[in-house]
Amino acid sequence: MAYLIQLKTFKDERGRLTPIDRVLPFDIKRLYYINDITDAANRGGHLHYETIEALFCVHGSFTVVINNGKTREEFFLSDPAECLIVEPLDWHMMYNFSPGAILMGVSSTHYDHSDYEHAEPQIAR
């Protein structure tokens, strides 16, 4: 199931520096960002069979819903010094983006269309 990591941030009179090396549970193979998100737009809406992702809110805020077929949980991201680790089989969708929000994602694999499943898992009752 997805979980949050608090990143170490160094702050002085010049600003904040938040390094991302040696904190993720995988080697980075892909980096992407999403911006200029239209009102009420959803992003994601899929799971990966093999890929692990780390999601960062570089600017603004957004909500991530995670569904692993057993649990459905929401995470609100607004701090650039924390990241959400999305594990394989965690269906995820990002929504409720604030104006000007920027989502940065890093992945453990390169893009591969066959690694995606778009159907949201049903939670057994």
Active-site choice (46, 48, 59, 118): 46
Are residues 65 and 42 in contact, defined by beta-carbon separation less than 8 angstroms?
no
Q: Which has the closest alpha carbon to 5: 83, 61, 59, 77?
A: 83
**101 in Cβ contact with 59 (< 8 Å):** yes
Q: Would you state the structure tokens that stand for residue 99, as one six-digit string?
A: 């104006």
Alpha-carbon distance of 31 to 118, in angstroms, equals 21
Residue labelled with tokens 């170490």: 8
Q: How far is CA 79 from CA 15, 50, 98, 102, in A?
A: 15, 27, 13, 11
- State yes or no: is 46 an active-site residue: yes
- The catalytic residues are 46
